[in-house]
Copies of this chain bind each other. A is one copy, B any other.
């Protein structure tokens, strides 16, 4: 009986906050597009109440259901409008019942300037970091990172994980060797279930290796150990073949304690592209070709307009203003 009452009050709360959000939206004025993504089909907009209260509305087209009945309903309700027809190929704009073609959204209100800035799409710029730039600019940036809260959060998560004070049950595999060992664990962004989006991190036990810049051919045993044992553990636990896993470092990484990303080849993960990711196999290959490759190489990567590292490169005259 008590449970029922609780459920009822939860439902009432939900419908009340739903009604409030609906009313907020109805009286809101459209102010500007903060960003849009035509490949992922999303739109971020800023709204404002007549009172001046701000809100952010994030809209994402939903994915198609692959459930048989949903597909049949979609076909049955489809109304075609022909755009062009050429031989057997016809292009149509299709309208379907709104309940099978929804939009996923997040409405954030009241929103302050910081939240609005977070969703404002920023331009990116490419930095080409020479070995000298790394020493004179990037190293200083890395030191200042220790004071950055987001980075702190990551580093604390990593050290807790390595000390097995957190998420010990999530560890997929561990090689405890102090010099060449590592812990393999699902990335915080992965649910651990959906294999299509498999995303696993190998985090080394050794301290003081900040990124691929610190690697020399002396570290080949570490890198080959990570590659071979991680791919075997992923095969064992998730039944994904080693030639269907993309393994890479980020450069620049989001935190400066060496780690490798292992991601399902099917998954187009954020920051897995050129100018963000460097393949583990390429790093191994480069160190075989030149023992001090990463002490000499120019490495390219992109940064957002408001990024501190970009500003440091501009201040040093090493980037276009």
Contact = CB atoms under 8 A, between A and B. Distances in A.
Interface of A: 14-15, 17-18, 21-22, 25-26, 28, 30, 33, 36, 38-43, 45, 47, 57, 59, 61-64, 66, 68, 71-72, 74-76, 78-82, 85, 88-99, 101-111, 115, 123-128, 196, 241-246, 248, 265-266, 268, 272-275, 277-279, 281-282, 285-286, 289-290, 293, 296-298, 300, 302, 319-320
Nearest to A241: B320
Number of copies: 2
Dominant secondary structure of chain A at its interface with chain B? mixed
A85 B290 CA distance: 54
Given A80-B18, A274-B279, A281-B300, A30 B96 contact: no
A90 B108 contact: yes
A128 B281 contact: yes
A96 B103 contact: yes
Given A85-B17, A95-B99, A57 B43 contact: no
A275 B267 CA distance: 13
A28 B64 contact: no
A289 to B, nearest CB: 5
Contact of A66 (B36, B289, B297): B36
Contacts of A293: 289
A58 to B, nearest CB: 10
A66 B43 contact: yes
Contact of A289 (B80, B127, B196, B290): B290
Given A111-B88, A243-B126, A289-B293, A300 B279 contact: yes
A25 B80 contact: yes
Contacts of A79: 22
A36 B64 contact: yes
Contact of A14 (B85, B123, B126, B320): B85
B300 A274 contact: no
Given A43-B71, A80-B107, 20 more contacts: A17-B82, A17-B85, A17-B90, A28-B75, A30-B68, A30-B75, A41-B64, A42-B64, A47-B75, A88-B109, A88-B110, A89-B106, A90-B108, A92-B105, A92-B106, A93-B103, A93-B105, A97-B98, A123-B266, A272-B273
